[in-house]
Amino acid sequence: MTGFLRGSATAMITPFCEDGINFASFEKMLEYQIENGTDALVVLGTTGEPATMSETEKESLIRFAVEKVAHRAKVIIGTGGNNTAKAVAASVRAEELGADGVLAVTPYYNKCTQAGIVEYYRAICAAVKIPVIAYNVPGRTGVNILPETMAAIAEIPNIAGIKEASGNMAQVVETARLIRGKCDLYSGEDTLNLPILAVGGVAVISVVSNIAPKDVKALTDAVLARKLYAANKIADKLFPLVKACFLEVNPIPVKEGMQALGFEAGAPRSPLTRLEEAHCARLYAAMREYGFEVKA
């Protein structure tokens, strides 16, 4: 299927506090995104640290996001995992709780075959009616959705597209060629948002848009409107901030960045740690250069 998502989506951080999730802060973050034109909010993606959350916390966060967003943007829930049955159950729960779609990362650690990847997505799609986005991020999972494999996955009726974060543009171009007209291509890597959109991507699922949602939306809109000169100007402005947001593993820097903007982002959960002091200085410098008032 095509047309489910177009524009900018933000991979939302989850603000934690001593009692669990800081829902008051999360609501402010949701409003910040909506006010700045973000088209979709991805909750419980990698950036949201779901691996460190209880099932009760996850359900509470989904309920809260769906209620507070109230159809002003799409709500997409991260549901993938290395246990197909558990990923299916998570996807069913997301649908039952009102999600507009799900984002299912490839099975990680198990290192299944390409045939196994296809069957994994078949199982998830068979269990729900809402759109399913495949997520390819081999640097984290150890599993790569090859272009020919994605072509097979694209034949599944409710596959909406693929979030591509392989970092391999040659592979992205081939994937785009093979799935064109069947499902959509989304950028899942902020450093490659512009080129992935330029080869046929229709949306970005961005980390840096936690901090700079307005400009990520503007970049996406400019490319989709075929205004590449304007898009390049926005991308040039964004790039130093993007680099600063990946000085350490995601979401460590972006959580620190949101804290510096004045949001109560909280610390990442163990085994992740707070951003190192030297990296904080570089992140704050990039934010100030961008034009943000840094409260740190």
Q: For the chain, how many residues are written?
A: 296
Instruction: Give the closest residue to 163 by CA, choosing from 73, 79, 83.
Output: 79
CA distance 187 to 152: 20
CA distance 106 to 92: 17
Separation of first and last alpha carbons in the chain: 45
Catalytically annotated residue among 58, 74, 163, 255? 163
With 0-12 / 13-18 / 19 or more C-beta atoms within 10 angstroms meaning exposed / middle / buried, residue 277 is exposed
Who's near 237: CB < 8 A, 6+ residues apart? 215, 290
Count the neighbouring beta carbons within 10 Å of the beta carbon of residue 19.
Answer: 7
135 as an active site residue: the answer is: yes
163 as an active site residue: the answer is: yes
Whether residue 177 contacts residue 152, with contact meaning beta carbons closer than 8 Å, is answered with: no
Catalytically annotated residue among 135, 217, 255, 284? 135
Q: What are phi and psi of 108, to 5 degrees?
A: -110, 160
CA distance 26 to 264: 8
Q: Would you please indicate which residues are annotated as catalytic (active-site) residues?
A: 135, 163
